[in-house]
């Protein structure tokens, strides 16, 4: 079941968040520099996020020269999920050799504004800041087990389609992962695997 609040075609919420690299990252800066920006809500201890993190670094490497930039955001409540605290994010980024920024959404305002529901949950924005894709990194069985060969569907296919100047199809898929660990009760506590 897709979340009814996520609407492809709306403008993405702007954000300014600290990264594990010691810098503050502003979405507006990325939109002025890149043709496609991928925002992926990630977590350090989500099984599916761990399975897909290598694929995300491959996507960044594959599409970087074509004007694509991925940005990962961790919004999990550090009290409920100590493994997702900022210090642990720094170690995670180093261990997995992340080649894209990894940002901390301590207030969870950005995750809330994006209507992110789980980790991983991917969004692709065009240079105007419009959400052109929302959902899983891969489709079908690929969403449950990261393939050894990068899938053509899902996020990778959507990026390629956007680079050709067309809207991805499908543009909205079910995100599959572990629910975001919200600080307080939240409506998105259903239909995800742990």
Domains of the chain with CATH codes: 16-179 (3.40.30.10)
Contact 93, 20 (CB under 8 A): yes
How many whole angstroms separate alpha carbon 155 and alpha carbon 123? 8
**What is the mean pLDDT for each group of 10 consecutive residues in the chain (194 residues)?**
63 97 98 98 93 94 97 96 95 97 97 94 96 86 49 81 94 90 67 39
pLDDT of the residue at 191: 39
Closest CA relative to residue 21, chosen from 129, 75, 93: 93
How many whole angstroms separate alpha carbon 177 and alpha carbon 184? 19
pLDDT of the residue at 6: 54
pLDDT of the residue at 2: 47
Contact 105, 75 (CB under 8 A): yes
Helical H segments across 107-152, by residue range? 109-114
Structure tokens at 72: 């990962």
Find where tokens 């004007």 sit.
67
pLDDT of the residue at 176: 87
CA angle 109, 90, 99 (to 5 degrees): 90
Burial string for 148-158 (b: 16+ CB within 10 Å, else e) reads eebbebbbbbb
Count of all residues that appear for the chain in the document: 194
Closest CA relative to residue 42, chosen from 2, 13, 81, 8: 81
Q: Kindly report whether the global pTM for this prediction surpasses the value 0.85.
A: yes
Backbone angles phi, psi at 185, to 5 degrees: -50, 140
How many whole angstroms separate alpha carbon 150 and alpha carbon 58? 8
Read off the pLDDT of residues 107-150 as tens digits, 9 standing for 90 and up: 999 999 999 999 999 999 999 999 999 999 986 545 555 544 44
């Amino acid at each position: 079941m897709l979340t009814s609040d996520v609407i492809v075609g709306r403008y993405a919420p702007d954000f300014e968040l600290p990264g594990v690299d010691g810098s503050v990252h502003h979405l507006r800066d990325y939109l002025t520099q890149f043709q496609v920006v991928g925002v992926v809500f990630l977590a350090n201890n989500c099984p599916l996020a761990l399975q897909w993190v290598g694929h995300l670094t491959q996507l960044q490497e594959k599409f970087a020269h074509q004007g694509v930039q991925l940005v990962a955001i961790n919004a999990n409540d550090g009290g409920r999920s100590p493994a997702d605290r900022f210090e642990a994010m720094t170690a995670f980024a180093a261990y997995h050799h992340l080649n894209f920024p990894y940002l901390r959404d301590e207030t969870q305002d950005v995750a809330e504004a994006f209507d992110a529901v789980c980790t991983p949950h991917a969004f692709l924005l065009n240079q105007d800041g419009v959400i052109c894709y929302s959902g899983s990194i891969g489709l079908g069985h690929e969403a449950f087990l990261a393939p050894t060969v990068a899938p053509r569907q899902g996020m990778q296919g959507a990026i390629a389609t956007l680079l050709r100047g067309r809207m991805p199809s499908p543009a909205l898929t079910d995100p599959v992962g572990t629910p975001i660990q919200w600080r307080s009760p939240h409506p998105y506590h259903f239909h995800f695997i742990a």
